Structure 1
Amino acid sequence: MARVSQEHLDARRRQILDAAALCFARNGFHATSMQDVLKEADLSAGAVYRYFSGKEELIAAIVGEVLGEVQTAFEAAARQSPPPRPDQLVASVLGRTLGLRESLTLDGVPAFPRLVVQVWTEVPRNDELAAVLGKGYAAVRAAWTRIVEAYQEEGTMRPDIAPDHVARTMIAAVLGFIAQQSLFGPAPVEVLRDGLRALMSVPGPDRASEGSQLG
């Protein structure tokens, strides 16, 4: 029997994960059966179960993969001196994450934002998924905290705000932007980038008071 190459195994795994992601985005986790995934992937049960034992393992793999990509990108940014500006960094990481999944569409609409919302609804009922998501969130939050500390050290961000507060806010902005796309339709990442850039240009209380006194 010919030996199956690692490239073939990786491609097959990718095929299964993409099929499962589409099914979950379309109908939700509980309304999707493994038979639905088999049909979407156009594979036999044996081919799929060779890689994944069931829906729980599939969704954990999908979430872990995305969080791993995001974590790697932010940790790389944290090692730069200085790190990219927040607006540029968010747009770059989110754009890459969405770009890697641009082939996943439902009726021509990107499926990834809908998948993210479906994952959120499943977390309270799925301890394994909650653990994966919690671990990924903590890692991204820690990376963002280091980035904010670098901004503060170089004097480009005010030092009197706790870095963790900024980290949580940046993550919230990204998650909110994804939720908007799921609810109201796709939007380019430049929208979020430009919005953050505008907010970053608002003067702080000290600068605002100085301006009013000059006037």
Structure 2
Amino acid sequence: MARVSQAHLDARRRQILDAAALCFARNGFHATSMQDVLKEAGLSAGAVYRYFSGKEELIAAIVAEVLGQVRAAFEEAAQQSPPPPPDLLVASVLGRTLAARESLKVDGEPAFPRLVIQVWTETLRNSELAAVLRDGYGAVRQAWARVAEAYQEAGMMRADVPPDDVARTMIAAVLGFLAQQSLFGPTPVDVLRNGLRALMSMPDAPTHL
């Protein structure tokens, strides 16, 4: 029997993950069956179960892949001296993340923002998925904190703000932007970049609150 190449295995795995992402974005994790995924992928049960045992493994793999890519991008940025400023860094990483999944659409609109909302909703009743998400975002948060530390070392950011506070704020900005995409429709990443740039341009002012 001819040996199946790694490229073929990787392409088949990608096919399954993309099909599952579409199904989850369209109907939610709870309402999606493995039969739905098989139909979307156009594959037999044997072909899919060779890679994933069920929905839980599928959604965990999707989450781990996305957050792993984001974490790697921020870790790479932290090694630069100095790192790109937050407006450019966030826009670049989020832009690449969205572009890599641009072909996945539900009702003609990008599926990824909807998938993010579906995943967060599912964590309310799925403790295992919640743990995967906690670990993934925890790693992203640590990477962002290292970026913030690099900003402070380069004199680009005030030193009296804990790097973890910066990390949490940047994650909140990105998640909020994705939520708006899901609610109000596709929006260029430039909008987030411009908003961050405007906030960064504000001079220090006396505290009134």
User: Is TM-score (shorter-chain normalized) higher than 0.5?
Assistant: yes
The yes-or-no answer on 1:112 pairing with 2:108 is no
Query: Cα distance, 1:155 vs. partner?
Result: 1.2
| Match of residue 95 from structure 2 | 95
Query: Cα distance, 1:146 vs. partner?
Result: 1.1
Question: What is the alpha-carbon distance in structure 2 between the residues aligned to residue 13 and residue 167 of structure 1?
Answer: 32
The yes-or-no answer on 1:18 pairing with 2:18 is yes
The amino acid that maps onto 1:176 is: G
| Match of residue 194 from structure 2 | 194
Give 3-state SS (helix, strand or coil) of 1:205's partner: coil
Question: What is the alpha-carbon distance in structure 2 between the residues aligned to residue 156 and residue 2 of structure 1?
Answer: 57
Question: What is the alpha-carbon distance in structure 1 between the residues aligned to residue 113 and residue 13 of structure 2?
Answer: 22
Question: What is the alpha-carbon distance in structure 1 between the residues aligned to residue 198 and residue 92 of structure 2?
Answer: 17
Q: What are the Cα deviations for residues 180-200 of structure 1, in whole angstroms up to 9, with x where unaligned? A: 000110101100000000000
Q: How high is the TM-score relative to the length of structure 2? A: 0.97
Query: Cα distance, 1:156 vs. partner?
Result: 1.2
Give 3-state SS (helix, strand or coil) of 1:32's partner: coil
| Match of residue 212 from structure 1 | none
Query: Cα distance, 1:127 vs. partner?
Result: 2.1
| Match of residue 62 from structure 2 | 62
The yes-or-no answer on 1:172 pairing with 2:166 is no
CA RMSD of aligned residues (A): 1.1
Question: What is the alpha-carbon distance in structure 2 between the residues aligned to residue 132 and residue 121 of structure 1?
Answer: 14
Query: Cα distance, 1:2 vs. partner?
Result: 1.2
The yes-or-no answer on 1:148 pairing with 2:170 is no
Query: Which stretches in structure 2 are left out of the alignment for 5+ residues?
Result: none
| Match of residue 7 from structure 2 | 7
| Match of residue 162 from structure 2 | 162
Task: Describe how 1:46-85 pairs up with structure 2 within 5 A.
Answer: 46-85=46-85
Question: What is the alpha-carbon distance in structure 2 between the residues aligned to residue 156 and residue 65 of structure 1?
Answer: 31
* Identical amino acids, percent of aligned pairs: 80
The amino acid that maps onto 1:3 is: R
Give 3-state SS (helix, strand or coil) of 1:60's partner: helix
Question: What is the alpha-carbon distance in structure 2 between the residues aligned to residue 164 and residue 3 of structure 1?
Answer: 48
Check conservation: 2:81, 2:154, Cα contact below 8 A: no
Q: How high is the TM-score relative to the length of structure 1? A: 0.94
Number of matched pairs: 207
Question: What is the alpha-carbon distance in structure 2 between the residues aligned to residue 136 and residue 31 of structure 1?
Answer: 24
Higher helix share goes to which structure? Answer: 1
The amino acid that maps onto 2:153 is: E
| Match of residue 42 from structure 1 | 42
- Report the more deviating stretch, 130-139 or 111-120: 130-139
Query: Which stretches in structure 1 are left out of the alignment for 5+ residues?
Result: 209-215
> Structure 1 residue runs of 4+, over 4 Å off?
none
Query: Cα distance, 1:96 vs. partner?
Result: 0.5
| Match of residue 213 from structure 1 | none
